[in-house]
Structure 1
């Protein structure tokens, strides 16, 4: 299955469904803590992870002069591929904004799908004015160099307490951010789409007055009814 097909199919699957599907496969730690939509109503986003990593403050390295360094957030932005979801490990820091309006505007121009971080952003009004969808922990006025040291990009990171590797698939919606390990993506897509169909049918049954025992989760009798209804469609 092509990458674009996988991504399009996942745009119809909620993060809630994905956490359940991944749980059944033994993966419990897939929801990035603290990364919530900056604006309500942001459309669901799906893409490959492009990772960035910050370290604790090192005063000799985290300076305004570092903004011009070859290892800088500015250089990282220019390496971001179109359609990627930028995942930033900010160690959960909430006292310095990792990105502001100018970097977010440039990311949008490069075709980045979304930004997700366990930290915060700055220049809120300016960031909101860009079309870039953002999932984060909030906002703070100080720049990143006041509290963090930028370490590099496209390495494994720990964002929101979750291990994220470059090219894992990230799904973002109003419930937050979920990572799907790249080796499991095709398998998860098929199961998750079927789970969405089943749950939509269960909602219809509930709305028609059916009781939950034996329906959610469905017993064999209700599974047979579900399959029969799907065959009619």
Structure 2
């Protein structure tokens, strides 16, 4: 299920910092995936539905190079990824075995996958960067995944960076890392986030003019009235 263009456009303009504030107001505190750092500086903010992959601890009879040819493998999972999705991989925070290398990332890029997010690491990092696939992870390690992990399945509920991720939840990722928006809250979060971003933009403009923070951030009744008047003259487009 793809995101509609309007939702994608709105969320592409909302920082993950703003999203965490909006989600906090809705009672969700644990939405930022720990360890999801951009592999390359300057990667763009991206929005997409989560396509989940799950690893468990390595077990010697299963985590073997032969498993790469199994019907239930990372290779098979990649062939199931729809264009525009964000692959979210539960690597259990393991940082001494790279879950994907340059060839797998090249195939993902060729299939139109928007990004790879994991609480683990990648390998062949120079080659991965060369594929152009945006990656958020904890860094790089030379050993293959089977040195520390066993791949078990895709499109199941997972935990990535301590956050529960279900297939088709929405992920927004930028320089601050990856944030999860539960599918059932998407419409409400999109609406509230656009308004929160606009409010914070107005507050920043006031700060640039020399305004003090008390009573401005958050706004008191007087400043809220000033903002409301400004907002009526500057409606959200789209």
Q: TM-score range by the shorter chain?
A: over 0.9
Q: Any idea what SS the aligned residue of 1:71 has? A: coil
Aligned to 1:219: 220
Aligned to 1:13: 14
Question: Counterparts of 1:13-32 in structure 2 under 5 Å?
Answer: 13-32=14-33
Aligned to 1:190: 191
Question: Counterparts of 1:152-163 in structure 2 under 5 Å?
Answer: 152-163=153-164
1:157-179: CA deviations, max 9, x gaps?
00000000000000000000000
| Unaligned runs of at least 5 residues, structure 2 | none
- Matched residues, number: 232
Aligned to 2:38: 37
Q: Any idea what SS the aligned residue of 1:32 has? A: coil
Aligned to 1:112: 113
Aligned to 2:69: 68
Shift in Å at residue 198 of structure 1?
A: 0.4
Shift in Å at residue 27 of structure 1?
A: 0.3
1:102-129: CA deviations, max 9, x gaps?
0000000000000000000000000011
How many Å separate the matches in 1 of 2:25 and 2:209? 29
Shift in Å at residue 4 of structure 1?
A: 2.5
How many Å separate the matches in 1 of 2:165 and 2:8? 17
Aligned to 1:53: 54
| Unaligned runs of at least 5 residues, structure 1 | none
Question: Counterparts of 1:198-209 in structure 2 under 5 Å?
Answer: 198-209=199-210
1:125-175: CA deviations, max 9, x gaps?
000111110000110000001110000100000000000000000000000
Q: Any idea what SS the aligned residue of 1:41 has? A: coil
Aligned to 2:230: 229
RMSD (CA atoms): 0.8
Q: Any idea what SS the aligned residue of 2:13 has? A: coil
Shift in Å at residue 62 of structure 1?
A: 0.7
Q: Which runs of 4+ in 1 moved over 4 A?
A: none
How many Å separate the matches in 2 of 1:218 and 1:36? 32
What TM-score do the two structures reach when normalised by structure 2?
Answer: 0.96
